[in-house]
Chains A and B, each alone.
Chain A
Amino acid sequence: MAGEKGSEKQLLDTPLEFIRDGNQFLKKCKKPDTKEYFKIIRAVGIGFIAVGLIGYAIKLIHIPIRYVIV
């Protein structure tokens, strides 16, 4: 009986400990300030859109090919 209770407690403890651990880590983390954050979003955003537009242009080529071979 005692052993069962122990394992039950352990089962509950692991996620709780994980959450506590994670919270502690997040508190210690350095977060980006607004200026840095906007810089990152701009860089990632521009990269994403630029690459996406090129990729989409390539995909548009597929449409006529689809009509030819199918």
Chain B
Amino acid sequence: MAGLRLIDLAKPIFTLLPEVEVPFEKIPFDDKVVYTIFSALIYLFAQFPLAGVKKDAADATIKDPIYFLRGVFAAEPRTLLEFGIFPIVSSGLILQLLAGLKVIKVNFKLQRDRELFQTLTKVFSLLQYFLLTNIFIASGYYGVDLTWVHIFLLNVQLNGAGLFASLLTEVIDKGFGFTSGPMIINTIVIATNLVADTLGVNQISVDAEGNTEPQGALINLFQGFRAKHKTFLGGIVSAFDRDYLPNLSTMAIVLCIGIIVCYLQSFRLELPIRSTKARGMNNVYPVRLFHIGCLSITFSYVLLFSIHIVAFAAIVLVGKNNPSSLVCKVLGHYEMVNNILAVPTFPLSMLTPPRSLIGGILSAPLSFIVYPLFVLTTGVWFAYRWQAISGGSARDLALDFKEQGITLTGRREQNIAKELEKVIPSASTTGAGLLALLTIAGELLGLKGKAAGMVVGVAGGFSLLEIISMDYQQTGGDSALSGVLGTPTNF
């Protein structure tokens, strides 16, 4: 215990932060389902419009600079959850990665250290909420000439919602629900957005004359038949290619991506195993292609988000978004598009997926090289590191095998770790590479973050389904839901 460790910084705050208690006894299956779904639904309900700012961003000088990153972090513009779960995800991922790489010294065997680490993660995420809020306020995103009262109220709203969201994810993480909190929230928010984008009936005004179009792409097609401001044929064409709201072509691509993720998810390498205790007990142990799930994409997007926010702060706060200032010459500046988006120019645009395929190739060809390279390399690097430090590494699995009294058929017990070492790193890196390619392909077609969101959402939904059905088989026999789900059988 020589010197001060980073986690010791959390000591004085440890008692101040509200915390969710670990459940006393095992939560029954039904309760877990209810906790899981309701936490995510509460999160959805918490996407309240911000009080005290104008409904449309008409008078703000700066529009939305992170529009293409919102899909992955369940962030809704101009609501309480402006930044979604980004601070929670990023502080969790980055601190755990640093601890795993031994940059931060934590002894996870000590309960005290684990608690401190947890508090540190929470403090770090709250700090990020605070910083993000004030960067956005200072940039003029919520309108210029805000009074002190306004600024104070915005801070209370956004940071309060951040604390609330982090407690909400903690409820699931601490064992009241299935899998991890951010993943559930992401999945359900993405599912909601998918439904809203195809079937949404809420009307949004699209031009100065007050004509409205529905949010849902499919509904828009039907409503286009009798809209007054469009011809019949024009209605059909615009249903497929409008760029201010979701259109049918992007929805088709998003669905395709979801289907491909489902296909890749069920790739697995089956290692033959046998029991060391009973004879003739042969089985297979599946090593999945997505050994670490969609975390690699999340990590790439955490990095992208951080880079863009730092650049945004520098450009808008230091350079005043003035193309002739020094900062803007180095980093590029923001141009407002369609009155809702702030699109960065070269060189920051290299890390921004294009808004449409054709327009992107013509105006920013470099982003077709740099952005894919960035997502691919960070994703694969992360996958390689993460599989070694998370609980699913070859060494941990070998220990699990030993505890459960199973071994790989035809291998000596001492060699299990070595044998797994051959498989698991290549499984996680290959999986991460494929997911990155899929995301890149979708994003380059101009989906503005929907592709990445869909990849994360479907992968999350898939693992949720898997864990729920596994838990159901083990403990759900007397569940009240068995009428709906059927008797516990193999999924």
Contacts and interface: CB of A to CB of B under 8 A. Distances in A.
A66 B195 contact: no
B48 A21 contact: no
A59 B194 CA distance: 13
Interface string A29-59: 1111000110011011001110111111011
Given A56-B192, A60-B202, A62-B47, A48 B426 contact: no
Contact of A26 (B200, B267, B423, B457): B267
A56 B461 contact: no
B429 A40 contact: no
Interface string B253-281: 00000110011011111100000000000
Interface string A11-29: 0000000100110111011
B226 interface: no
A45 to B, nearest CB: 8
B465 A47 contact: yes
A64 B54 CA distance: 15
Contact of A54 (B41, B55, B266): B41
B269 A30 contact: yes
A43 B40 CA distance: 19
A70 B55 contact: yes
B289 interface: yes
Contacts of A52: 191-196
Chain B contact residues: helix, strand, loop or mixed? helix
Contacts of A62: 47-49
A69 interface: yes
Nearest to A38: B262
B428 to A, nearest CB: 10
B51 interface: yes
A61 to B, nearest CB: 7
A54 B51 CA distance: 25
Among A24, A40, A51, which residue has the most Cβ atoms of chain B within 10 A?
Answer: A51
B191 A22 contact: no
Contact of A41 (B53, B259, B269, B380): B259
4 closest residue pairs by CB, A with B: A55-B192, A52-B195, A22-B430, A52-B191
B240 interface: no
B24 interface: no
Contact of A61 (B45, B262, B267): B45
A2 interface: no
B454 to A, nearest CB: 10
A28 B269 contact: yes
B47 A18 contact: no
A55 B195 CA distance: 9
Contact of A65 (B48, B189, B491): B48
A36 B266 contact: yes
B368 interface: no
Nearest to A32: B266
A1 interface: no
Interface of B: 37, 40-41, 44-45, 47-49, 51, 53-55, 187-189, 191-196, 199-200, 202, 258-259, 262-263, 265-270, 286, 289, 380, 423, 426-427, 429-430, 433-434, 457-458, 461-462, 465, 491
A32 B429 CA distance: 21
A6 B437 CA distance: 29
Contacts of A26: 267, 289, 430
A56 B196 contact: yes
A29 B195 contact: no
A55 B189 contact: yes
A21 B265 CA distance: 19
26 contacts: A18-B380, A21-B426, A21-B430, A22-B426, A25-B427, A25-B430, A28-B269, A29-B267, A29-B289, A30-B267, A30-B268, A41-B262, A43-B491, A49-B191, A51-B192, A52-B194, A55-B192, A58-B41, A58-B44, A58-B45, A63-B202, A65-B49, A66-B55, A69-B51, A70-B53, A70-B54
Contacts of A49: 191, 195
A68 B262 CA distance: 42
A59 B44 contact: yes
Contact of B200 (A21, A29, A31, A56): A56
Contact of B462 (A36, A44, A63): A44
A33 B7 CA distance: 49
A38 to B, nearest CB: 10
Given A37-B266, A55-B195, A59-B47, 4 more contacts: A22-B434, A44-B462, A52-B194, A55-B41
Given A28-B269, A30-B269, A48 B429 contact: no
B87 to A, nearest CB: 22
Contacts of A41: 259, 262
Contacts of B269: 25, 28-30
**Max chain B Cβ within 10 angstroms of own Cβ: one of A28, A37, A40, A44:** A44
Contacts of B40: 51, 55
Given A37-B262, A40-B262, A70-B54, A56 B195 contact: yes
